[in-house]
Amino acid sequence: MPELVFFSGTMDCGKSTLALQIGHNRSARGLQGVIFTRDDRAGEGKLSSRLGLVTEAVEAGEGMDLYAYLVDQLSKGGKADYVIVDEAQFLAPEQIDQLARIVDDLELDVFAFGITTDFRTKLFPGSQRLIELADRIEQLQVEALCWCGARATHNARTVDGVMVVEGEQVVVGDVNRPAEEVGYEVLCRRHHRRHMTSAATRAGALSPDVLPVNHA
């Protein structure tokens, strides 16, 4: 039976790499897929991995009806055996409903990839709807690591190298950006709560044995 599968994890855990691998494996068997993405780091209409791999994709812009797009392509003689959606957290809840309809009405597997929570530890609306509707949720097994070596569970946003917890939910950026740019870093919960990024740790002299008192 076709499924809506949500592959989730923090930034830097290999989601886009797995999306590209799934597409490669199926295309090697003669299957054709449609790839949607939204706000990829490589630019519009691209699905890219931090390993340097990139492929063309359909930009799933705001207001786009993904189900109608598939129906239109099929009615024109196109072929689709499966659907891949990267950066699925950026989709609107109604677009996630459209993915579920692709599975149920067109009987196609849909593989959605995305991070679950934003830099404030709040659920993205698209991810929340995927959790509500997905037939299966897969936590990626490649663990991203906090600077301390612990498993990273949270995404931190930095501006001028300083962690911020306020601002728009969606601001496109990436890990390992220059300090003066909007960037992101994956942290364990402990250090996300303390706003302790790798840069802050290098700059400060706070002993790990001293508990901070200025953050909840």
- Residue 104's pLDDT is 98
pLDDT (0 to 100) of residue 102: 98
Q: Residue 168's pLDDT is what?
A: 76
Per-10-residue mean pLDDT, the chain, length 216: 92 80 92 90 72 82 96 95 95 98 98 92 95 94 84 86 79 56 86 88 57 54
CB 67 within 8 A of CB 102: yes
pLDDT at 200: 78
User: 151 with 52: CB under 8 angstroms?
Assistant: no
Instruction: Say if residues 119 and 155 touch (Cβ distance below 8 Å).
Output: yes
Please give the DSSP secondary-structure letter assigned to residue 88: G
Distance CA 82, CA 103 (A): 9
| Parallel/antiparallel/unpaired status of strands 136-139 and 54-56 | unpaired
Give the whole-angstrom CA distance, residue 121 versus residue 130.
17
- The token duo for 209 is 């044995």
Backbone angles phi, psi at 71, to 5 degrees: -60, -40
pLDDT given at position 40: 74
Residues belonging to the active site: 87
Q: Whole-angstrom Cα distance, residue 176 to residue 32? A: 34
Predicted pLDDT of residue 183: 83
Instruction: Identify whether the C-beta of residue 185 lies closer than 8 Å to the C-beta of residue 212.
Output: no
* Residue 211: predicted pLDDT: 53
What is the Cα–Cα distance from 75 to 94, expressed in whole angstroms? 23
- Give the residue from 4, 39, 1, 2 showing the smallest Cα distance to 136: 4
Q: Which residue has the tokens 């070596």?
A: 149
Spatial separation of the C-alpha atoms in residues 167 and 158, rounded to whole Å: 11
The answer to whether 155 and 175 are in contact (CB under 8 A) is no
* Residue 99, pLDDT score: 98
pLDDT at 206: 47
192-203: b or e for each residue (b if 16 or more CB lie within 10 Å)? bebbbbbbbeee
pLDDT of res. 98: 98
Residue type, 116: T
